[in-house]
Structure 1
Amino acid sequence: MTISFGARPRAVLALLGTLGLSLAAAASPANAADGAPTTPTQLFNGYRNCSTDADRPTYLSALGNVVVEGIPGTTDATGNSPLSVRYQAWPVADPSRTETVTHDRATPGDEARSLLPGDMLADGQTYAWRAQTVAGDAASDWSAPCYVTIDDTRPASTPSVTSPNYPPNRWNQGGDPVRFTLSANGDDDVTGFQFSWTQPVPVIVLADFGDHGVPRPRDVYADSAHFVRADAPGGSATVDLVPPYGGGGTLSVQSLDRALNPSDTASYSFLVGNTAPTITPSDPSPEFGDTTTFTLRPDAGLQSRSPVVSYSVHTFNGPDGDRTFDVVAAADGTATTELTIDGITGEHVTVTSRSANGWVSDPTFWDIDYDTTPTVASEVYPEDGSGGGAGVPGTFTFTPKVQGVVSYTYAFDTEPEATVAAGADGTASVDWAPDSAGSHSLEVYATTRSGIRLLAYDYSFTVN
């Protein structure tokens, strides 16, 4: 399970209400446990590690609540009797204001979560808290105190974002990573930055959860693709980033304080000239069913900055749906690939290149349109015309527009579908007699020897 929070709200608080936690002014006796209670271990606050150093407290955005937790136990490792976990908290500046909350009926070996009372937590104040296991009338020693500083105030300043090699409001040659300088503008509350190519900036994930509900706190700054520490409180940071697509982009940036409260979002947009590769078929006008070799060549400016190492080829509306595959480039950045032209509404191909440094180019496109519906003809019952009569048979001839057709599947009006084999020339004929005058219809589609069902054709006529 993963718990995360966004810019301000904490969804975890609603979750805690479902965990059977209780707040009380004093400990509630638990059932008699097996063995003597032991001091809780695995202490966390706000799903972050407990700090036992009063000079280096954990900074938390409480928003009225702080989640505290620890694992209770007894000297009898086989015991399963419910326990209670008692939590005491007090302001470091005034230890006489101690308050106590209890998690009743905790499971030995599992994290027992509770909430410190929100009315005692003040922005900017440091608090200590400790935990104790209670079993009936017996209680363990208290844990060493954990220290937290409440920080509910977001950074006051929006960061500034600049780039020396991709200035805004002009076209830039793509291919090099974009160098960004992120600055807190002297706001000493800021210790780092979060950035993203998407908007809004994704929520920050505080921790994953393992066995027995034990949090595994994340160091968000270990994710260098989205976070970077400032060189000093209120300072700056430099990152080199490759945009996820060609044509420029917009980077969104937030400053973060020690409690990971985000500032308002700053954005930096820049433009990149077209870096699309070229795609050239060996046959400029292939027909349906042909296999054609395509040569892929990189943009010269892109190739000069970082060699193209591969291409991503995406085809649309094929018999098996859309398809994407990679093609490895030669040392000069070129590549070849064979494509069978088998899209039932035409062939549509998109290609992007990827450079050695990860730069993805703009896409290039190649398209060819053709018609795969059969031609339908009848002398007795001409299309959009009238003829024949009730009970009068007519012959309907099916002729392909593409190669490789082996059969036709058809249905008159609401009758069940039927299939007729095509001759060596790809044509077929069926005889049919209407049972009534008026409007009638015929739907027919062809199937190729490779099993591709082509587009259907609707043929309408009137019976005299």
Structure 2
Amino acid sequence: MSMNHGGVRQRVISVLTAAFVVAALITVPAPPAAAGVYKYLQPTTWAYTDSRTPLKSYVNTTADAPVGAWLDDRGRRHRSRSYFSFDISSYRGTRLMSATFSVRETEVNDCSATRTWELWRTDRIRPTTSWLNPPRAREKVADIGGEGCGSYVGADLTEAVRAALARNETTLTVELRVPGRLEGNVRFGRRVEPDPAVYTEYNTPPGAPTGLKIDGKSCSDSGELFIANTTPYLNATLTDPDAASGGGSSVYGKFAIWPVDRPAERVETPESWAGYAPTTAWGYTPAGLLQNGVTYALAARSRDQDDVSPWSAECRFTVDTVRPSHAPTVTSTDYPDDGGSHGGPGIAGAFTFSANGDPDVVGYRYGFWSPSEFVAAETPGGSVTVDITPTSPWSQYLYVQSVDRAGNVSESAAYEFNVRQTAPSIEDTNRDAWLGDPRTLVFRPGMENTVSYTYQLDDDAEQTIPAGTDGTARITVTPAADGTTVHLFSTNAAGQRSQQTWIQLTPRTAPVVETTDFRNGPDSVPVGTPGTFTLKPHMYGVVEYVYQFDWYDGTPLQTVAAGPDGTATVQFTAADIGQHSLRVFTRTAAGVESDPTEIAFNASSIAPRITSAEYPEWNTRGGPGIEGTFTLTPTAADVVEYEYQFSRQPVRTVAAGAPTTIRWTPLDYNTDTYDGSVMLQVRSRSANGLVSDWYYYRFWINALAPTATHDKEWPETAHVGEPVTFTFTAQLPGSTEFLYTIGDGPEEVVAVGPNGITTVQWTPTGSNFYHVNVYSRTAAGAKSGRGHTSISVQE
């Protein structure tokens, strides 16, 4: 269809998008973080009417919808109105927040004419809808005006949709027309798309919570649920119908609890955020609210950002915090508690648990480490028998607790019984067999009436052999080079299987190393003396030995051929004392290598020995200025010289003599250690260049320290300004002077008096506790150890 006005045809095509149009039509504030569901509706039916064909129906045509007056190609004037029906049934039970009618103009007769429309609510469109039989107009819902040409046009339908829903209507039909005074004026006629939209935002209230639980137990409305806790945690499932539409917001949950016979005491928990539906709301019962023996009702409610759900169906529970008064009784005829051994690992036994007359007991918890498994009693307060299979032998403890209807548990009963060791034994009759040699295994029973043995070699299939009249059996196995594992169990005449056992058969291919020269003790051959090792094979076809002395130091590998009997010998001369090592393996003509053998051994010391009359080893003798003579005795052959060193002194050399002696005079007491200790270390060198290990010779010298006294003996003290007399007595022979300090004062020197005694006088100038240190020294420079005294000075 086309329209003419003033001889000019005007057709307008909009390029605006629907999303932009809705934003342009109505200014809506930004939605909150969690908003309602956004949805748009398109007409289920549409129609227009034409005054020139007053009885003709135009329902659901493909033409654009005419509004107002227009001219046909012959110049005849028409008047039209358009009707659109929308299905609003899906909004029942929701909170409608907004509804916006939006339609796009496709043709405008005169863009200079101001748009003048009315939007009316009408009755439904019928197949007979026409100009003379239009839907009945009910009320005007909006005036739509504004200048513009070919744009999206909209109107607020929120109240109209709400009102229709309040009337329980499922369809809303609107009429778009030009008001009567202008309806015949062609300038105001326009056309729109036949599929306008109604953009909505709505929220559906959350559903009533379901799946209420108390401490993880599903709630019941029968009052038969019992809780053993006065502060149980609560949870319920929250749903939001909007979630299925891609919407929904955060939901919050709260709980209400009250005694069933005192509803006025209802308490509601604080509301808490639960997340996005579907989700679980959690809550905790306030302390002090629940009392033992009382039956309570529980309900839950949820809320989203706009609406609140109904309260859930009521459920009931009873608080019972009294635990069973007695531990259960445990009995078993298969595994009696009689001190004997019974059954075996893998052999099930029947155990009976009894409640000892407590009618509230509904089950039992049991287990070997802790009561973790649960079994229900046959009747409330009754017993139950369970089959339990021990997995290990010897003494076992089965722990059992009674459990009442609320989940309270009794004290544990500890039932002790012994499980017989049933695993058979395996004897390897040829443990020293070489690689490739068969080995005979003897199986012996571990339980009575054994009739067969089942064994498995590595991952091969199981094989079963009968037991002999003596209960034993034998098999022959040739182990693989990397070993073979044999798993074994037995079966008795009753068909019961024993515990499984196993053995690892590994051929030992490492060679045997023998020596009578080298040992790990002091009687090993000494450093510099060759010793012999004999190498023997432990596998067939050995043609050579590959060996390495002190292999951890990276020494090179060496090879020696095997003799006709498969053995070989190698020699080793230790260059120093201490531990040495030998690593050796064999090799066949085909290049097959054995496992290595590694041994450690020592070479005996060849360090020289030291003796001294003046300064014997591990003794305290002599003193500063007293000469000592040290005699050196070799243990190695052809010694030509010695190296020696006294503590803190340079290394010196002396030629070997018969005997060899060195002289040494300490000039002072060892002030480094304050104990007079001296270390003399000596080693020898032979004519062939062999150097021995060091011999360490420790001794101590006397301090020969002077004595120091004063005339203010304890408990008397000196006073400031009062002279104090100190008396020093030399102990070092030939002392000519004393060196002393008082407190932090400088070192003073005073001559030794007659009989080695000297007195000095000192006048303190301040109160303190003073240490006095004193040494004596000879004319030759020998210095004694430290003498000491102290004195307290007061004001």
Question: TM-score, normalized by length of structure 2?
Answer: 0.41
* Matched ranges for 1:231-242 at <5 A: 231-242=378-389
2:253–2:300 Cα contact (<8 Å) kept: yes
Residues of 2 paired with 1:247 and 1:362: CA distance?
Answer: 15
Question: Larger Rg: 1 or 2?
Answer: 2
Query: Is 2:544 the partner of 1:399?
Result: no
Map of 1:217 onto structure 2: none
Map of 2:399 onto structure 1: 252
Query: Is 2:258 the partner of 1:90?
Result: yes
Moved more, 252-261 or 241-250: 241-250
**Alpha carbons of 1:187 and 1:371: their partners in 2 closer, same or farther (altered >3 Å)?**
farther
Give a deviation string over 1:165-203, Cα, whole Å, max 9, x none: 44332535536642322110111121111222x23334x
Offset at 1:433? 6.8
Residues of 2 paired with 1:254 and 1:325: CA distance?
Answer: 45
Give the one of 240, 253, 259 matched to 1:73: 240
Give the one of 271, 277, 280 matched to 1:111: 280
* Matched ranges for 1:43-192 at <5 A: 43-48=212-217, 50-57=218-225, 59-62=226-229, 64-77=231-244, 78-79=246-247, 81-96=249-264, 97-104=266-273, 106-171=275-340, 174=343, 177-192=348-363
Give a deviation string over 1:391-450, Cα, whole Å, max 9, x none: x9x68646246336886564528512654567556667777776x543341252647888
Which secondary structure state, in structure 1, belongs to the residue aligned with residue 243 of structure 2? Answer: coil
Moved more, 294-303 or 364-373: 364-373
Which secondary structure state, in structure 2, belongs to the residue aligned with residue 138 of structure 1? Answer: coil
**Alpha carbons of 1:115 and 1:458: their partners in 2 closer, same or farther (altered >3 Å)?**
same
Residues of 2 paired with 1:74 and 1:327: CA distance?
Answer: 61
Residues of 1 paired with 2:477 and 2:320: CA distance?
Answer: 60
**Alpha carbons of 1:93 and 1:171: their partners in 2 closer, same or farther (altered >3 Å)?**
same
Offset at 1:233? 1.8
Map of 1:195 onto structure 2: 366
Which secondary structure state, in structure 2, belongs to the residue aligned with residue 75 of structure 1? Answer: helix
Offset at 1:263? 1.3
Moved more, 33-42 or 229-238: 33-42
Give the one of 304, 329, 349 matched to 2:464: 329
Which secondary structure state, in structure 1, belongs to the residue aligned with residue 288 of structure 2? Answer: helix
2:293–2:318 Cα contact (<8 Å) kept: yes
Offset at 1:87? 2.1
Question: TM-score, normalized by length of structure 1?
Answer: 0.66
**Alpha carbons of 1:154 and 1:424: their partners in 2 closer, same or farther (altered >3 Å)?**
farther
1:374–1:444 Cα contact (<8 Å) kept: no
Residues of 1 paired with 2:491 and 2:593: CA distance?
Answer: 35
Which secondary structure state, in structure 2, belongs to the residue aligned with residue 191 of structure 1? Answer: strand
**Alpha carbons of 1:357 and 1:180: their partners in 2 closer, same or farther (altered >3 Å)?**
farther
Query: Is 2:411 the partner of 1:264?
Result: yes
Residues of 1 paired with 2:253 and 2:358: CA distance?
Answer: 40
Which secondary structure state, in structure 2, belongs to the residue aligned with residue 340 of structure 1? Answer: coil
1:309–1:330 Cα contact (<8 Å) kept: yes
**Alpha carbons of 1:409 and 1:351: their partners in 2 closer, same or farther (altered >3 Å)?**
farther
Aligned residues: 390
Offset at 1:383? 6.5
Moved more, 185-194 or 292-301: 292-301
Residues of 2 paired with 1:43 and 1:339: CA distance?
Answer: 67
Give a deviation string over 1:278-314, Cα, whole Å, max 9, x none: 4354x455425444243535456354xxx7674689x
Offset at 1:237? 1.2
Give the one of 421, 441, 461 matched to 2:580: 441
1:72–1:106 Cα contact (<8 Å) kept: no
Give a deviation string over 1:224-271, Cα, whole Å, max 9, x none: xx4322122221112233322234633221111123332111122234
* Structure 2: runs of 5 or more not aligned: 1-31, 38-202, 607-691, 693-795
Which secondary structure state, in structure 1, belongs to the residue aligned with residue 448 of structure 2? Answer: helix
1:231–1:237 Cα contact (<8 Å) kept: yes
Residues of 1 paired with 2:516 and 2:600: CA distance?
Answer: 14
Aligned residue identity for 2:221: D
Give a deviation string over 1:148-178, Cα, whole Å, max 9, x none: 3333332111111122344332535536642
Higher RCO by CA contacts (8 Å cutoff, separation 6 or greater): 1
* Structure 1: runs of 5 or more not aligned: 1-28, 203-225, 314-322
Residues of 2 paired with 1:447 and 1:63: CA distance?
Answer: 77
Map of 2:58 onto structure 1: none
Identity %: 26
Moved more, 252-261 or 367-376: 367-376
Map of 1:218 onto structure 2: none
Offset at 1:30? 9.2
**Alpha carbons of 1:415 and 1:230: their partners in 2 closer, same or farther (altered >3 Å)?**
same
Give a deviation string over 1:378-398, Cα, whole Å, max 9, x none: 97x776534454xx9x68646
Residues of 1 paired with 2:259 and 2:401: CA distance?
Answer: 31
**Alpha carbons of 1:93 and 1:455: their partners in 2 closer, same or farther (altered >3 Å)?**
farther
Aligned residue identity for 1:375: V
Residues of 2 paired with 1:455 and 1:112: CA distance?
Answer: 70
2:364–2:400 Cα contact (<8 Å) kept: yes
**Alpha carbons of 1:327 and 1:423: their partners in 2 closer, same or farther (altered >3 Å)?**
farther
